[in-house]
């Protein structure tokens, strides 16, 4: 009969929990990058999982929708506390997330998308906040109004959390029991 001190099993469970948090964070950050505005790609690359009281970094890249993997969420991030937040580090994040106040009558600047930058759709000429045109290959330079709250409240956050955690806990292997 295999015998092992329970403290080792607890450690195995802790390790699986960290992996579940990592996987969930990656899924959530990828969904946020995909759902949000992508004008230069910098905002999409600035999502961070930080422990309570921690600060996010800045943009990691530009030119495309950033693709996150577990290297962006080091396991050490989850060892300093039981709570962590997924936040965007750009200084205009609250505006991009439609959390800052805005004047609905103010026309958006259309700007010129540099050819070497991501062509993710268009803002209409004289367009207002929340108005966007379909761009080439369904790209867009902005995002639908309240895209962030839709992600949080519309079920997608729960879905990503569940899928990621399930994948992380799937790695759970109790060692030393036979």
Contacting residues toward another protein, per CB under 8 A: 98, 100-106, 128-130, 144-147, 149-156, 159
Residue 19 CB-density burial (10 A; 0-12 exposed, 13-18 middle, 19+ buried): buried
Q: Output the six-digit token pair for 10.
A: 């607890």
Distances from the Cα of 120 to the Cα of 17, 19, 117, 172, angstroms: 37, 33, 9, 40
How far apart are CB 143 and another protein at their closest, in Å?
Answer: 11
How far apart are CB 101 and another protein at their closest, in Å?
Answer: 4
Q: Specify the residue, 3 or 106, whose C-beta has the smaller distance to another protein.
A: 106
Taking the alpha carbons at both ends of the chain, their separation in whole angstroms is 7
How far apart are CB 46 and another protein at their closest, in Å?
Answer: 22
How far apart are CB 37 and another protein at their closest, in Å?
Answer: 15
Q: Output the six-digit token pair for 14.
A: 């802790």
Q: Specify the residue, 71 or 105, whose C-beta has the smaller distance to another protein.
A: 105
Q: Specify the residue, 84 or 147, whose C-beta has the smaller distance to another protein.
A: 147
The helix/strand/coil state of 89 is coil
Distances from the Cα of 101 to the Cα of 42, 98, 168, angstroms: 22, 7, 38
Q: Output the six-digit token pair for 95.
A: 């505006």
Q: Specify the residue, 39 or 147, whose C-beta has the smaller distance to another protein.
A: 147
Q: Residues 6 or more apart from 1 whose CB is under 8 A from it?
A: none
Q: Specify the residue, 78 or 151, whose C-beta has the smaller distance to another protein.
A: 151
How far apart are CB 95 and another protein at their closest, in Å?
Answer: 10
């Amino acid at each position: 009969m295999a015998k092992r001190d329970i403290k080792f099993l607890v450690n195995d469970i802790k390790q699986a929990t960290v992996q579940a948090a990592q996987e969930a964070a990656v899924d959530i950050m990828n969904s946020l990058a995909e759902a949000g505005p992508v004008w230069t790609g910098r905002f999409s690359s600035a999502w961070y999982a930080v422990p309570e009281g921690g600060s996010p970094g800045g943009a990691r890249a530009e030119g495309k929708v950033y693709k996150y993997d577990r290297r962006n969420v080091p396991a050490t991030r989850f060892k300093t506390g039981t709570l962590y937040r997924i936040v965007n580090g750009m200084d205009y994040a609250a505006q991009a997330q439609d959390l800052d106040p805005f004047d609905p009558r103010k026309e958006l600047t259309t700007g010129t998308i540099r050819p070497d930058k991501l062509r993710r759709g268009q803002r209409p000429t004289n367009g207002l906040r929340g108005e966007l045109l379909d761009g080439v290959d369904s790209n867009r330079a902005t995002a639908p109004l309240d895209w962030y709250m839709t992600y949080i409240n519309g079920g997608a956050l729960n879905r990503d959390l569940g899928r990621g955690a399930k994948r992380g806990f799937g790695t759970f292997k109790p060692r030393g029991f036979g």
